[in-house]
Amino acid sequence: MYGPWKDLGVQVWAVASNEERSTVQNFADQLGLDLPVLLDEDGAVWARYVEAGAFPTAPYPQEWLIGSDGVVTYYANQLEIDAVEAAIEAELAEP
Amino acid sequence: MRLPSIATRHRRRVRSSLVLVLLAGGCRYQPADPGTAPGTGDSGIPSDTGPPTGTSVPTRYALPATCVVADNGVPALVRRGADAHNTPPQFMELVDVELDGDVAWAAGQGGYIPVDVRDPAAPRVLFLDGNFISRLHRVESVRPGLLAGSNRDEGLTLLDVNDPAAPVIVGVARGTGWEGLAAVGDLLYVSSREEGLLVFDVADAAHPRELAAVPGLPSTWELVATDDGWLYAADNDLGIVPVDLADPTAPVVGAPVAMPGATYHVAVQDGYVYAAVGGDGVVVLDRSDPARPVPVAQVTTGGTVVMVAISGRWLYAADHEGVQVVDVSDPAHPVPWSHVETDMFALAVAADDTLAYVGDWGVFETWELDPDRRAPSLSVPSTSLTRVAGVARAAVTNRGAGTLTFSGAVASDGSVVEVGATSLESGEETWLEVGGSGPIEVCLASSDPVSPTLTLKVDDGGDPPVGIVAPDFTLEDLDGTVRRLADHVGDPVFITFFATW
């Protein structure tokens, strides 16, 4: 589903935090997910990103775009396709 | 492949964003905007829902500072019974429901599940065997006593169901990426992502014979056949695709009709086609010219519509959050009748007049509609609001047939709550705004029968973390590949944190 972004050279990862591998595996199979689904079973990565996040009343979803230099260029509490695409284009346009 | 859009849900519990991302339709997410009728957008499809346009001066009303629970009666759609198969406990994961007389066949991770539905108050699972697991996507009744099931990993299974409580596999055909099913006489049409539209002769169920494979359906999730020699495909990429069955063994795939978003399901009744289009709701197409169906109406539901069922005057849409009922007595002018939330994920629905059978992920439910009850259905995208520039704003829509009136609202810090309209007719939308600072709660009182008072949580957004160095991490993915963020310096990385619940 994120094909066009992958073609542009963007790594697209989904992270499942605080859930068991089998639950996530079933979920991914049922939906036929075709992107890497990273397992953060003890929620350690989630905790570090939540500290940096900005929306306390609605923790999920969290969408982060990390630029080529490792710096966060976009963050949102819901998936806004237009905004993410604009951020990706800005990122790829940089020399 | 079309990119998904999303309608974020946080109603009674936080929902999975990734499910909505993958199931929602449309390339464009348009935040609700007061004064814009839902359903009118890039697609140009006319919509009867939404407030009148052309008002130049936005009106604001401060709601009385009172939040009293009123007895607003019952909603038009009420749950009559359910079976979650707790004896012994076995999770069903339902993704399709097909009615076959007194039995509803539910399908999903749990396999082929017959449910006795003679008593709407007491649906009863007749058979569920953990060893009978097959990851089904669609079931279709072929003829009395014969059921077909499609499985994306394995292909086609044919079952003798003369005794519904003891289904027996009698025939199989192997393939991958098979999904949509439609039976016409002794022929079974199957959509295959790799091969296109397959035609099977299933007169002898033990030996299904493939007669043809016609390309042109790259990602079809469901097929539906008409009485007049046509088939319509719900193709995730192409939209609604008509298929000419003038020669039933040599189908001709026609020109697709693009939909506003990704298409997941399709139903047909008389001269109209009804498409399930994810976050873009339901699109009604006029098939007076069967080869060229024309979109004539669209209804959004606030959820992600993945299945539709139609019976007479009533259309039922399973939209992940619950069920939306629409009155389609005039299909070109559909009227939202009632929207109810289910406990889990409503992904499947079948209907017989005023009875709807819902696959609510782990529960099979029977719902009954009172056709004479005009009740409002209050709908908000989320009950968690974040202030932007000191103001939190929510779109509020009436997805029921009766008038929705707001009687008052109380903010826990005494802030005034304002709305753009104090009452909404069926399908109309307005906005609600509140200021204040820090975390507060707002109690909103209305004539909605399910939530006479609704609690909204409001808080400030923090400073967005743009500009910080993303915390490095190393995690293993489901395939066993170890992925470290720092390894990808040089490429942009898009990460979405999600939950499966």
- How do residues B190-201 score in pLDDT, each as one tens digit? 999 889 999 999
Report whether B263 contacts B275 (CB < 8 A): yes
Which chain B residue has the Cα nearest residue A4?
A: B1
What amino acid occupies position B113?
I
Q: Do A64 and B495 touch (CB under 8 A)?
A: yes
Kindly indicate the confidence band of residue B132, based on its pLDDT and cuts at 50, 70 and 90: low
Task: Give which of B92, B478, B483 to mutate to test A binding, by max A Cβ within 10 Å.
Answer: B478
Cα–Cα distance for residue pair B328/B346, rounded to 1 Å: 21
Q: Which residues in A lie closer than 8 A to residue B497 (C-beta atoms)?
A: 14-15, 17, 46, 49, 60-64
Cα–Cα distance for residue pair B32/B55, rounded to 1 Å: 17
At residue A3, φ and ψ (nearest 5 deg) are -45, -55
Task: Give which of B437, B475, B476, B483 to mutate to test A binding, by max A Cβ within 10 Å.
Answer: B475
Spatial neighbors of A34 by CB under 8 A, at least 6 apart, are A1
Which chain A residue has the Cα nearest residue B93?
A: A30
Cα–Cα distance for residue pair B283/B264, rounded to 1 Å: 12
* Binding-face residues of B in 285-304 toward A, CB within 8 A: none
Angstrom distances, CA of residue B389 to CA of B31, B383, B420, B437? 17, 19, 19, 10
Which chain B residue has the Cα nearest residue A65?
A: B494
B285-304 as b/e, with b when 16 or more CB fall inside 10 Å?
A: bbbeebeebebbbbbbbbbb
The pLDDT tens digits of the residues spanning B456-478 come to 999 887 666 778 888 899 999 99
pLDDT of residue B177: 85
Cα angle B193, A14, A10 (rounded to 5 degrees) comes to 80
Report whether B356 contacts B350 (CB < 8 A): yes
Q: Do A68 and B492 touch (CB under 8 A)?
A: yes
pLDDT of residue B19: 35
Cα–Cα distance for residue pair B449/B11, rounded to 1 Å: 16
Q: Do A39 and B477 touch (CB under 8 A)?
A: yes
Nearest CB to B470 within list A56, A64, A82: A64
Q: Do A62 and B10 touch (CB under 8 A)?
A: no
Neighbours of B476 (CB within 10 A): 15
In angstroms, the separation between the Cα of residue B127 and the nearest Cα of chain A is 22
DSSP assignment of B8-40: ---SSSPPPHHHHHHH---S------TTS-TT-
Cα–Cα distance for residue pair B315/B353, rounded to 1 Å: 9
Q: Do A52 and B135 touch (CB under 8 A)?
A: no
In angstroms, the separation between the Cα of residue A24 and the nearest Cα of chain B is 7
At residue B56, φ and ψ (nearest 5 deg) are -95, -35
Q: Do A81 and B22 touch (CB under 8 A)?
A: no
In angstroms, the separation between the Cα of residue B277 and the nearest Cα of chain A is 16
Q: Do A66 and B492 touch (CB under 8 A)?
A: yes
Helix (H, G, I), strand (E, B) or coil at B445: strand
Query: For B124-148, what is the HEC assignment?
Result: EECCCCHHHCCCEEEEEEEECCEEE
In this model, does residue B170 exceed pLDDT 50?
yes
In angstroms, the separation between the Cα of residue B208 and the nearest Cα of chain A is 26
Spatial neighbors of B6 by CB under 8 A, at least 6 apart, are A78, A79, A81, B17, B20, B21, B24, B29, B279
Q: Which residues in A lie closer than 8 A to residue B280 (C-beta atoms)?
A: none
Q: Do A11 and B493 touch (CB under 8 A)?
A: yes
Compute chain A's Rg from CA coordinates.
Answer: 14
Q: Do B465 and A75 touch (CB under 8 A)?
A: yes
Q: Is the Cβ of B465 closer than 8 Å to some Cβ of chain A?
A: yes
Report whether B322 contacts B346 (CB < 8 A): yes
Q: Which residues in B lie closer than 8 A to residue A28 (C-beta atoms)?
A: 478
Q: Do B489 and A36 touch (CB under 8 A)?
A: no
pLDDT of residue B42: 37
* Binding-face residues of A in 9-38 toward B, CB within 8 A: 9-19, 21, 23-33, 36-38
The sign of the CA dihedral B61, B67, B73, B76 is positive
For the segment B115-141, the average pLDDT, to the nearest whole number, is 84
Which chain A residue has the Cα nearest residue B463?
A: A54
Angstrom distances, CA of residue B288 to CA of A67, B65, B357? 52, 53, 30
pLDDT of residue B214: 97
In this model, does residue B10 exceed pLDDT 70?
no
Average model confidence (pLDDT) for chain B? 86
Q: Which residues in A lie closer than 8 A to residue B95 (C-beta atoms)?
A: 30
Q: Which residues in A lie closer than 8 A to residue B3 (C-beta atoms)?
A: 1-2, 4, 81
In this model, does residue B27 exceed pLDDT 60?
no
Cα angle A61, A66, A67 (rounded to 5 degrees) comes to 150
Cα–Cα distance for residue pair B356/B392, rounded to 1 Å: 37
In this model, does residue B24 exceed pLDDT 50?
no
Q: Is the Cβ of B459 closer than 8 Å to some Cβ of chain A?
A: yes
The pLDDT tens digits of the residues spanning B394-447 come to 999 999 999 999 999 999 999 999 999 999 999 999 999 999 999 999 999 999
The pLDDT tens digits of the residues spanning B252-300 come to 999 999 999 889 999 999 999 999 999 899 999 999 999 999 999 999 9
* Binding-face residues of A in 36-95 toward B, CB within 8 A: 36-40, 44-46, 48-49, 52-75, 77-82, 84, 88, 91-92
DSSP assignment of B34-101: TTS-TT-STT----S-SPPS---S---EEPPS----------SEEEEEEE--BTTB----EEEEEEET
Which chain A residue has the Cα nearest residue B151?
A: A30
Which residues are registered as beta bridge partners of B391?
B388
Compute chain B's Rg from CA coordinates.
Answer: 24
Nearest CB to B386 within list A17, A55, A74: A55
pLDDT of residue B168: 92
The pLDDT tens digits of the residues spanning A3-46 come to 677 777 889 999 998 888 888 888 887 777 778 999 998 888 88
Q: What is the H or E stretch that residue B232 is in?
A: strand B230-235
Spatial neighbors of B336 by CB under 8 A, at least 6 apart, are B49, B299, B301, B324, B325, B326, B327, B377, B398, B399, B400, B401, B426, B427
pLDDT of residue A67: 87
> What strand order describes the sheet that includes B178-184?
B178-184, B187-192, B196-201, B209-214
Q: Do B493 and A66 touch (CB under 8 A)?
A: yes
